[in-house]
Each structure stands twice: as C-alpha cells, then as structure tokens.
Structure 1
C-alpha cells in the first residue's frame, strides 16, 4: 500500500473519531463547512459578474466598431432603441445614410415593425385588445391610458397605429415625463419594470423618428 495513502487513511480515521466524540470539534467543523460554502458561493458570484462585465464590454466595443464602419446601422438602432436615441454618432450616420432610397425604405419598415410589435396592457398594441384584462385601460392616467388616447386620436383621423405624427403630441408629452432607465438587465421583472421598459422603448422610437425625419 502506498505510504501516503496509508497516512491519509490513518488521518481520516482519527479525524472521524474526534468528530464523533467531541461535540465542540463537531460544531467547529459545521461552522467551517458553512463558511466554506458561503465563500464558494461568493467566489462564483464574483466570477459570474466579472464574466458578464467582460461580455458587455466586448459587446459594446464590437457594436461601436460596427457603427464606425457603417455596418448594421438599422439593426443596431432597433435592437436597442434607447442606445440609438442617446448615441449621437449612430443618429448622425443614419441621417447621412437615409438619403439612400433603399436604406430609407429599410429604416422605415424596421421602425414600423418595432413599434407595432410592442404589446402592453389593453391599448399599447397595434389593435386594442379589451379581452385580456378585467379592466381596460389597466392603469388610469398612465401608459395604457395614454395609448388609449392615442388610439382614440388615430381612429378619429382614420390613421393606423404606425402613422404617428398627427397623434403623437399628448403621447409624447406623457412619455417625456418618464426618464430613461440606466438599468439594462433585471434579475426579476416586476410590473413597474415592465412599464418602464415599454415606456422607454416607445419614447426612444418616437424620438428617433423625429430626429431622422
């Protein structure tokens, strides 16, 4: 038998003898095990955070490099409308490229698709749906109510949800009262956070449309 294995076996034997007959030693070992697991959890949490921060940094660098090279401008803009609205370099590049008829058509189509695919409450959607909630609008004097007012406006003028210019005044006024959130990711999504994300997205899309056109 390997001498080292023999010594380890003897060590384990005496460890368990002491563990079984000495309550204080047993309690100390339990505390050490709890501390070890807590330390392990903390280490994993720190490593995960570092990894996420690295991924975010690489993503942002890659995104800005693409913008500088005039690559995927439309996709980048509508993948993250808030970033697009706030990143002036991207806005200026889109303003330049929009002179191209093909680019302009693609931009307008993507804007319309992005705007139409937002769904919130009963009225913040391409067509109101009054059957999915017990009360419509779901929030008085808030986002769903503002969307209802916008739908009332476009119905009276025989417009579509995407034809925004004539019915954006009150809608934009409401959205302007809601600041952009700096939080990009959420561990858990609350109703308030969903409201904030949707309102910010609408706000950014309308702002982009005003800046480009």
Structure 2
C-alpha cells in the first residue's frame, strides 16, 4: 500500500529475522501472562498455532508494555496500568469467553486450526474501478472541500479552474471568452489563456 510502512508487530509483513524476534518476545510475555492471571484454561498451550490468538495476544502485549513503560524527562503515556486492565484485559477476557470454540478441536496440545479460504468475488475489481471512475478528480474534490483553487506549485497561482469558478470570473468581468459563441472555448484570464481539459475537468493555463 502506497505511503504505508508496517510496524514491527504486523505479523503478515515480517521477514524471518523480525518474526524470530517477535516470537521470542511474545512467547515470553504470553507465558508470564497465562501464569500471572491464571488463564491456562482460557488460553491453551497451543495458542501459538492459532493465528487469531497470536494477533489478539500480540495486541495485548503491546498495550501492556506501553502501559508499564517508564519514561524519562517527565514524559507520561496516555496509557496506565489501570487503563490497560479496564480497556484491554477485561475486553480480552470477554472475547476469550465468546470465542471459547477457538480451542475446541485441541486435545493434549494436538490441534489443527481450520484454514479459512478467503476469495474475492468475480467482478470485484471491475466494480471498484467503476466506483473510482465515478468520483471527482482530486482537483475538483479539493475545490469543493476548501472553496479555493490548488496552486500550480511554481508560485504562478492556481493550476486549474473548475467550470463554475470560471463562469463566476466571466460574469464578474475578470475573465473573457476568446470566442463568446464557444461555451467551453478558451478563456482569457489573469494575463493567460485557459483551455478546458477533460482530464482535470477544469480549465488549465496554456
């Protein structure tokens, strides 16, 4: 995904070395967690074979470390041990109870978590492409949201003027059609000639 940098806890993005480090960290924490909170009946010893449990426990561990981390220079976390117990631990217990069948087929550490087949329906890509095509271009969306025109980036003013704005400029006398009979013909404005562009759905300076 463009602009997205996965963190060290994103299992599906880890390489071998990163995965080894996270497994070591998670196993140490989960075994402490199961023993301290007496959760061996809710979190079976084969938890590491269950991707859903691995993700749940990774999230709980991450939040726990933040809540108990010591910071210097007067810095404080928005998390605290109390908030971890009420906002992470308690909801986790409820999810464990609601998903007790997660370990239903596990006997004496022997388990084979079911593999879920995930497929995208035929035509999904076409549907998405049509949805994207029907949306306004970034320039038009920016004007609608801010009421202002995006700058050309070179200090020379707006790069595109949408049709409604150009009509206002013509009506006010600030802009003048080169050919008054051509509704979408070139327009003279701000010392430049502007022509309609289907690509940007607006007038661009020539």
Q: TM-score normalised to the size of structure 2?
A: 0.22
Q: TM-score normalised to the size of structure 1?
A: 0.22
Whose strand fraction is larger, Structure 1's or Structure 2's? 2
